[in-house]
Amino acid sequence: MKTADDGRDWLAVRLTAAPSDGAANDALIRLLAKALGVRKGDVSLTSGTTSRLKRLHIRGDPAHLAAAMARLNGE
């Protein structure tokens, strides 16, 4: 996790998928779904389809998602 100058937190992810035909967006969704322990259908891209910065909506139990994010953050 990183913190922007304005105080917002964001997750930095590096992908090897090419940013063409939505391949990188699909790879991001698959990666986050697996890392957070949710179905791919529970992760959706809400903005930034062609941008480096993305906003995603992740459905699931908030406590489970918070614990998974803490694990990703090394906490």
Q: Rg of the chain over CA atoms, in angstroms? A: 13
Cα(35)–Cα(72) distance, rounded to whole angstroms? Answer: 8
Please, which residues bridge with residue 9 across strands? 3
Number of compact structural domains in the chain: 1
Asked if residues 68 and 36 have their Cβ atoms less than 8 Å apart, the reply is yes
pTM, two decimals, is 0.84
Confidence of residue 68 (pLDDT cuts 50, 70, 90): very high
10-58 pLDDT, tens per residue? 888 889 888 888 899 999 999 999 999 999 999 999 999 998 889 999 9
Structural domain of residue 31, as residue ranges?
A: 2-72
Q: Exposed, middle or buried: residue 31 (CB in 10 Å: 0-12, 13-18, 19+)?
A: middle
Q: Is the pLDDT of residue 61 over 90?
A: yes
Cα(7)–Cα(11) distance, rounded to whole angstroms? Answer: 13
CATH code, domain with 40: 3.30.1200.10
Q: Is the pLDDT of residue 1 over 80?
A: no
